[in-house]
A and B are shown apart, each in its own frame.
Chain A
Amino acid sequence: DIVLTQSPGTLSLSPGERATLSCRASQSVSNSYLAWYQQKPGQAPRLLIYGASSRATGIPDRFSGSGSGTDFTLTISRLEPEDFAVYYCQQYAGSPRTFGQGTKLEIK
């Protein structure tokens, strides 16, 4: 199985700041088949990014993804109050498809 390790576990920032979230894979994720999701308390996850860098429909351009191989990054350029949530990465290159353990983005 491809194990995804997200860091940091918790990130404390203020609105308007830039957030950088990391996802590292235990082996190379072919074709950059890496997605990012946002989850707020009591809600289902919401797709943000797929293919490492393609934004899903309706996702604001302050969200961007980058990376390849084993190292991937989700960047939120200027945090809005509604961005504070838990973020998960997911690989869909290898079987089984796996998720990271999540990064909690909290208000400082």
Chain B
Amino acid sequence: QVTLRESGPALVKPTQTLTLTCTFSGFSLRRSGMCVSWIRQPPGKALEWLALVDWDDDKYYNTSLKTRLTISRDTSKKQVVLTMTNMDPVDTATYYCARGSGASCYVFDDWGQGTLVTVSS
């Protein structure tokens, strides 16, 4: 059974750096074709894909946020970490990690429950 769980601070101040951790089980990120993404959703708004790391440790970013994002993985701990610098109130959102499906790394068939991050002073 595949599970993913996000963890990190619920509240960050403007200009701070956010660090989120996705801890997963039920699959190996070393296996060919496996990928994990971060996706966010501001309250009441649509989803936005942020970043992806794959089985080969290749990393891909949403170009609009690329300068602020870093994604990394620790396969031994079964974790994927996302850092986002220079946080702003508009970054307030629920942040999800999700596993790519067999159809494509960018088709998300397993999701964590999400973690709400509020940016406020």
Q: When the two chains form their complex, are residues B111 and A50 in contact, meaning their CB atoms are under 8 A apart?
A: no
- Which of B17-25, B85-93, B102-110 lies at the interface? B102-110
A51→B104 CA distance, assembly (Å): 9
The proximity string for A residues 27-53 relative to B, scoring 1 for CB distances below 8 Å and 0 otherwise, is: 000000101010000011111001100
* A57-78 at interface with B (beta carbon < 8 Å): 57
| B113 at interface, CB cutoff 8 A | yes
| B1 at interface, CB cutoff 8 A | no
A99→B50 CA distance, assembly (Å): 12
| B101 at interface, CB cutoff 8 A | yes
The proximity string for B residues 49-75 relative to A, scoring 1 for CB distances below 8 Å and 0 otherwise, is: 100000000001011100000000000
A46→B112 CA distance, assembly (Å): 11
In the complex, residue of chain A having the shortest beta-carbon distance to the beta carbon of B47: A99
Q: When the two chains form their complex, are residues A96 and B112 in contact, meaning their CB atoms are under 8 A apart?
A: no
Q: When the two chains form their complex, are residues B46 and A88 in contact, meaning their CB atoms are under 8 A apart?
A: yes
Task: Report which B residues bind A (CB closer than 8 A).
Answer: 45-49, 60, 62-64, 96, 98, 101, 103-104, 106-109, 111-114
Task: Report which A residues bind B (CB closer than 8 A).
Answer: 33, 35, 37, 43-47, 50-51, 54, 56-57, 88, 90, 92, 95-102
